[in-house]
Amino acid sequence: MSNNQIRNLVTGGAGFLGSHLVDKLMSKGQEVVCIDNFFTGRKRNLEKWFGNPNFELIRHDITEPILVEVDRIWHLACPASPIQYQSNPIKTAKTSFLGTYNMLGLARRVKARMLLASTSEIYGDPEIHPQSEDYRGNVSTIGTRSCYDEGKRIAETLCYDYERMHNTEIRVARIFNTYGPRMLNNDGRVVSNFIVQALKKEPLTIYGDGSQTRSFCYVSDLIDGLYKLMNSNFSKPMNLGNPEEITIKKLSYKIKEKINPNLELKLKDLPEDDPRRRKPDISLAKEIINWSPVIDFDQGLENTINYFKKFEN
């Protein structure tokens, strides 16, 4: 099958990751059907493709079934930041379970290969460091983050049950913290939080003492990883993220330095079940799909800050 014959369905295609994936697929001359209910997606992320014969946008909520003829399903639809997924936790759980169930049903009917955008959150507050794909996680079933963490875990379970029962072709990417242009300014993620606060000359809010770590992958690197995984023959879960670990406090200093060095820091209590450390082991991605991040963190931050400046209001 040549590239320009591939017909892709991207759920959550108007969102942060989804819209960057749409850009990549469209730039390769492929056909893209984008589905989004616009809970966190934005039409402006896709406007450059409006009117293009290879692009179609459908407003639809994937908790309801849909039938479209496609070769590939990139299942990214689900609110991914704590503020968003905790605002309606039952809806979040339904999106992960019913949405994935509906997409797998579609994949089975039209014999499409499906990639699930899973998450590092399935590891919970990890007791081993860094996290490799064989780690089973330390996750609360009853906490405020459970709707997302457990939702993604059952989504993975469904995928592999479909693979076993129906021979559905499955790819599962466990995505670690990603940042870059098109993040929402109110989504509560730490990179966008700090940038928005700094641009407004407000103190930067740090939860806990700032010693907790995250590993941030620039969005173009992450999309390259997704693309390589989908086009590989590897069907087990794969971590995609940047193994370069940084404390939240150090991140705040980096952003202050780039926007306004005089800003103060404001400490708040750590939220429930907030992971202390997060760092992917990407040995598998390096070995199987020859992938590792290439964008320098400072350059990625510059690009992200410039994006937020452009849309500041």
Listed in sequence order, the residues at least 6 apart from 53 whose beta carbon sits closer than 8 Å to its beta carbon are none
Cα–Cα distance between 276 and 9 in angstroms, integer? 36
Helix, strand, coil shares of the chain, percent, nearest 5, are: 40, 20, 40
User: Tokens 């407004």 correspond to what residue?
Assistant: 200
Which residues are known to be catalytic? 148
Q: Is the separation of the CB atoms in 160 and 167 below 8 Å?
A: no
Q: Is the four-CA dihedral 56, 69, 114, 103 of positive or negative sign? A: positive
Map residue 235 onto helix, strand or coil.
coil
Whole-angstrom distance, CA of residue 303 vs CA of residue 14: 20
Asked whether the beta carbons of 176 and 241 are under 8 A apart, the reply is yes
